[in-house]
Structure 1
Amino acid sequence: MGVCGSRPKVVEDLKLKKNKHRRRRRRILRRRVSSQKIEADAAHSHSVLQTSNRASDVAWFDSTSALDSECDDEFYSVYDGEVSASHGDEIGEDRRLTPDHCGMLQNTCLPCLSSNAVAVNEKKRPTSPDAQSSRRKSLSKLSFKLREGSSDMALFSPRSLRQKLLAGSTIPSCPIEKQTPGSWSPLEPSTFRVRGKNYLRDKKKEFAPNSAAFYPLGADLFLSPRKIDHIARFIQIPQINIPGDVPSILIVNLQIPLYPASIFQSENDGEGMNVVLYFKLSEKYSKDLPDHFRENISKLINDEVERVKGFPLDTIAPFRERLKILGRVVNVDNLSLGAAEKKLMNAYNEKPVLSRPQHEFYLGENYLEIDLDVHRFSYIARKGFEGFIDRLKLCNLDFGLTIQGNKVEDLPEHLLCAIRLNKIDHSNFNQIGF
């Protein structure tokens, strides 16, 4: 009896122990599986977050190479070639830019980021894990590519979403008789003296023919912490398209430094101003200008080369090295100059200067931009200009461009463009960044 009564108890104890062992094992397995799943989900989320962060960091990084790009910042989705205008929606409303105006200057229309709009969008940001996950997945599926000629950093530059400045919105125009301070005026090309028809024989200069290739359309002045190349990318240029091989608009970008001149030539960038001049192709371009001058303009645009006679051997030089700057201070007597300053002014006023090698050319759809980089001028020229820059607000400046005539068939010289700037005071403009 005792033996028979004890056997069922032992069997039950063994069954209980086995069941407890199985349940414990199942719990351990569940923990392992759940921990592995959590780790996998965490790793997946971390990778998605890294992808999102990398895309976000690139989107908000304005590379210097973007400024060097000649192409507009356009990017396309790889799906069906659709323009990715909904990129901001798929990334999240908190990343969307809202164009607004700073209100810092009455003449400056550069939009900036609205902090209020960003704060409101931050409040509307979905906090649901499912919403965040779907947004990250949609972001990971997106990929973009650039047009040829642009860098990857330029793709996500915030300036591509900014509203462009309207050309000629910062400096008004006025008739040349009034000479209103802070304005520009049209100027007759015949007021400049250039190489005449017999210059190679008698070395005499004559007044230029009263016809130019381009006539003034507007002017702007922008202050910036660094010099800005190819500034036409940031400006809304008038839609003027005149049939022919010559661009309808000529843009001259004068890059003028506002920091002290350094004897080290490597230091050629910093705070400065960009005086941007806009010119329109003459309606009588083919009628009033001689064939040789129109041919030289085509060589300038197409960046052709020419053979230059020299000793002991001839050399090949770009035709653009013939571009020549004409500058003149009209009201020298009103500047209260000292004896030494007046002597220098009389010696160098209206003396032409070849723009090479401190120039760059950019050819757009309907414009040609010429950047004249004063930052790269010689130390002596920079030092002299530095002492004169505070008097610019008192000066009436005439500016012109021509193509130097080195051969008989290139004479007389004609003007590409001409304009007068009336007492422009750069201190009236606030610094902006592109």
Structure 2
Amino acid sequence: YLKDKIKKPAGEPLFSTLNGDCVVSDGPICNIGGRMTLPECHLPDHLVDPHVPPMLIVNIQIPVHPRAIFGARRLPPTVNAAFYLQMTESTATGLEALRNGGSAPGPVKLLKTWCEHAEEDEALRGCLKLIGLIQNLAEINAPSFVSGYNGKPVLMSEAGMSTAKRKGNAEIYRGPGYLEIDIDVAKNFSYVAQRGVCWMLGTADKLIADIAFVLEGREDDLLPECPLACMRLDHMPVLDAIDEGTFFGIPSPLGGGGGGEDEDEGGAGKGDGLSADGGGGGGGGGGDAGG
């Protein structure tokens, strides 16, 4: 592909989508997996890789409105859309082959490298990308700044001319049996990009949207790419998301889960989840987070 630009169909996802939760807080909830009881490892011991955990959590932290450019004092209320991904047995088998000196598909090799080194290698961390495709775009009168990016991959990295040298802006957390990737939209997206994401948040109950997380292959032996995981969000009432205190069964701490910076004015909303049963107390119904 790097020479002829001819694309090939992607392979099967490396992880299956177990579930999702949607939680609203006063700011982004960082390392949401560390506050939950997660499922036990489903893989036999010989397939467990010391560097690539059997579960990934991807938490997209979306402000309910774009953060103010000037004069902001508090973080905007944030919808934390957390997806729980379970490694497939074929991925685990490929990782075992690599540990034993054998070969594996390019995306499996990239997954291993990324999980081992992305925390300290910012350029490597920047090869994470998200692809969103709204299937019913014509029905909802989407603005041009949304429709123009529909179906196009977006790297989770700083802007820059050289893709390979861009610093990744996702935060990585580790815990027993999981690795979490947090994507803070208010902190890392441009104002225009935030407008697009916030528009989708406000109309999510009308959308049929497919989402894929991908690690970008930048060498021939890492291609063709395949998704880390993919899922469909079907008419999801995310602005009715369950609040942080109810989700965790405790009073919501002042300032949410540790977004860090002071930002926009505003308090937390109320709500309903992508789906219940991520181990944290459950969200309400109304939607589908299946792959």
2:160 pairs with 1:372: no
Instruction: Return the alpha-carbon distance in structure 2 between the equivalents of residues 283 and 213 of structure 1.
Output: 9
Matched residue, 1:201: 3
Instruction: Give the alignment partner of residue 404 of structure 1, picking from 194, 211, 216.
Output: 216
Q: 1:287 to 1:248 in 2, by over 3 A?
A: closer
Higher relative contact order (CA 8 A, sep 6+): 2
Q: What does the per-residue CA deviation read over 1:207-259, in whole Å, with 9 as the maximum and x for residues that have no partner?
A: 312x1110010111111112110011222211125232121111111100013
Unaligned runs of 5+ in 1: 1-197, 307-315
Partner of 1:249: 55
Matched ranges for 1:187-336 at <5 A: 198=1, 200-209=2-11, 211-242=12-43, 243=45, 244-245=48-49, 246-264=52-70, 269-286=75-92, 290-303=104-117, 318-336=123-141
Kept in 1, the 8 Å contact 2:128–2:155? The answer is: yes
What amino acid is aligned across from residue 28 of structure 2 in structure 1? Answer: K
Residues 303 and 318 of structure 1 are in contact (CA less than 8 Å); yes or no, is this contact kept in structure 2?
Answer: no
SS in 2 for 1:298: helix
> How far has the Cα of 1:201 moved from its partner?
2.0
Change (3 A) 1:267 1:259: farther
Give the CA deviation at 1:367.
0.7
- Counting matched residue pairs gives 222
- C-alpha distance in 2, partners of 1:322/1:268? 30
CA distance change for structure 1 residues 256 and 304 in 2, over 3 Å: closer, same or farther? closer
Q: Distance in 1 between matches of 2:127 and 2:3?
A: 20
One-letter identity of the residue aligned with 2:53: P
Structure 2 Cα separation of the partners of residues 319 and 271 of structure 1: 30
2:33 counterpart letter in structure 1: A
Structure 2 match to 1:352: 153
Secondary structure in 2 aligned to 1:380?
A: helix
- Could you say what secondary structure the match of 2:89 adopts? coil
- Distance (whole Å) between structure 2 residues aligned to residue 298 and residue 399 of structure 1: 22
Aligned to 1:4: none
Distance 1:270 1:304, change over 3 A: closer
What are the equivalent positions in structure 2 for 1:19-168 lying under 5 Å apart? none
The AA in structure 2 aligned to 1:203 is K
Shift of 1:426: 2.2
Q: Which residue of 2 aligns with 1:94?
A: none
CA RMSD of aligned residues (A): 2.5
C-alpha change, 1:319 and 1:430, in structure 2 (3 Å) is: closer
| Residue deviations 1:314-372 (CA, integer Å, cap 9, x gap) | xx8542221111111111122134xxx2x444421011111124311111110111101
- TM-score between the two structures when normalised by the length of structure 2: 0.69
* Higher helix fraction (1 or 2): 1
> Are the equivalent residues in 2 in contact too, given 1:398–1:421 (CA < 8 A)?
yes
How far the C-alpha of 1:413 sits from its partner, in A, is: 0.8
Classify 1:252/1:267 alpha carbon distance in 2 versus 1 (closer, same or farther; 3 Å). Answer: farther
1:428 counterpart residue number: 240
* CA radius of gyration, larger in: 1
The CA distance in 1 between the partners of 2:191 and 2:233, in whole Å, is: 25
TM-aligned CA distance change 1:416 to 1:378, over 3 Å = same
Cα shift readout 1:255-292 (whole Å, capped 9, x = no counterpart): 00013432249778331111110111102225579443
Where in structure 2 are there 5+ consecutive unaligned residues? Answer: 96-103, 158-167, 245-251, 254-291
Equivalent residues of 1:398, 1:419 under 8 A apart: yes
Change (3 A) 1:230 1:286: closer
User: Which residue in the other structure is 1:361 paired with?
Assistant: 172
Q: Are the structure 2 counterparts of residues 206 and 268 from structure 1 closer, same or farther at C-alpha, using a change threshold of 3 Å?
A: farther
Q: Alignment partner of 2:57: what SS?
A: strand
Given that 2:205 and 2:238 are in contact with CA atoms closer than 8 Å, whether structure 1 keeps it comes out as yes
Secondary structure in structure 2 of the residue aligned to 1:279 = strand
Amino acid at match of 1:406: R
Structure-2 change in CA distance of 1:394 and 1:280 (3 Å): same
Q: Conserved in 2, the CA contact under 8 Å of 1:221 and 1:426?
A: yes
Query: Any idea what SS the aligned residue of 2:111 has?
Result: helix
